[in-house]
Structure 1
C-alpha cells in the first residue's frame, strides 16, 4: 500500500512537472522572452531571445551557450544588430634611438635638424640636454605622437622627412668641431694656431697641441687678417675704445685685432661676428690660455 502510494505520488508530480513544462514551452514559444543587455560601449544591445525548446542534452553539433541560446559549434556568433566586443590591437612601442643623457654626433645631427624646423634655438652641442628633450616633446605633440621627449624611430623618420642633411656649418653652429690639421708654420715654437676653416684655435708648443677651442672671426666687412703675426700686447680687462665693448683676456697680434673672450659669442654663437678679432666663447679656456701666452709668441691665422 505504501509502495503504491509512493509510486503514484511520484508519477503524479512528474506528470504535473511535464505538463507545466509543456505549457510554459507553448507560451514562450508563442510569446518569447527577451533580455536587454549593454554593449562594451555602454549602448543598449538588441534583445536576445531565449527559447526554452532546446535540443535534448547531448545532441551532436549543438552546445549550450551561457545565455541559454543554442548555437552550432565553431566561431562564436553574435545576434543580429548586436555589437560584438573586440579586443583592441596591441600598441606597438617604437624603439628609442636617443634619450636625455646621450651624446655624440647622432645627437648633434638631431639637434641640427630640430633647429631647421625651429624647435631648438641653442646648439647643436652634441649632448641630449633638457632643451633638446623639450624640443623633441614639442615636435612630437605637434604631430600627434606620444610626447615622451625621447627620440624613437617614428619621431626620427618624421623629422627626416621635414629636414635636409645638415652640413658642417649647421652641425657645429656653436663650436666644438674637430680642429683642422695644423698649418706647417705652427709646428715650431710657441704658437696660437688659428684655422678659419674649422673655426678653431690650437695652443701649440713645438708641434704639440696643449689645448683647442672654438673661435669666431670678423664679418666680410671687418675680416680677420690672415698670415703670421706675434702677440705684442696683453690686456686682461681691455675695453675697445673704437666700439666701446669689453674685450677680456685680450692678446693683440695685428693692429687692433686680438684673441679675446666674447660674451656675445658665448650667447649667440656664429649668428654674430667680431670686428676682426678672434673671439673665444669659453671664458675658462681663454683665461687659462691668457695665463700661458707671452708677448712675442707667434700667431698663425690661415684658411
Structure 2
C-alpha cells in the first residue's frame, strides 16, 4: 500500500532550519567557513566579492558573504567534487541541475534566516516555511543519491545556451502559489536559477518533472532573436521573465484548475525578482528603481 505524503505542522513550524547541514539535515555547529551557497570559485573567478544581491522585495539587499549556510565538512567535500566538474565544464545536464538546485536551496535558506533577523537593516520579507521544507527535503534526497554514487536524474529542466553576457551573472527567483480550497490548501512551489560561465548561460527550472521548460520558446527563439549575441544582462533577464511567466501560468492553470492570478500580475512579480520593472501590456522593461 502506497502511503500518501503529508507535511505536518511540526515539520515546518520551527525555527532551527539554519542549525542543520544544508546537504544532510543533520545538526552541525556553526563555523566560520560553512558552505558557499554561491560557489566560492564563481565568486573568485568573476570577482563577485562586493556584489549585492537583490532579494526580490523593495529595499532588500544582501552581500555575497551572507549566503553561507552550515554544512557538514564531509558532505561539503562530496559536493565540492561536483562543483569542480562544473567549473571545468565536465558534467551532465542532470548534475548541472543538481548544482543549480543547491544554489537555489542555499540562497532560499539564507533568505529565510535573514528574514528572521529583526536587526538586519535590509532584511527580506519572510515566506511560507512549507516551501523551505519542501525545497530542502527535495535537495537532500538528491544529495543522498549523489553521496551513494547513484544516478541523480533531474526533476526539472536545465538548458545550456550560448551567451555573450559576462561570466558570473546570476539570477535567482523562487516562490509558491497557495490555493485555499474547501478542505485544505495547496502549496505549489516554483524556482529558477540562471548562471553564466564559460560563454554559456545555464538555466535551471525546478519542480518541472516532465521537463516542459526545455521545450519552451526560449530555446526556439534564442538565436532567432540574437539573444546569444546579447551582452546586456537586463535584456536576458527580461526574456527569462516573460518565458518563465508563460510556463508558470500554464502550469498553475492546468494543475490548480484556476486562473485566480492574472498573467500580468505574475509577469510583474517575476520580473521584479529578476531586478526589473516590466510593463505587461508592452513588455517593455527598465531596471528596478531603488527604494
Report the TM range for the smaller structure's normalisation. Answer: under 0.3
Q: Normalising to structure 2: TM-score of the pair?
A: 0.22
More helix by share: 2
* Higher RCO by CA contacts (8 Å cutoff, separation 6 or greater): 2
More strand by share: 1
Q: Normalising to structure 1: TM-score of the pair?
A: 0.22
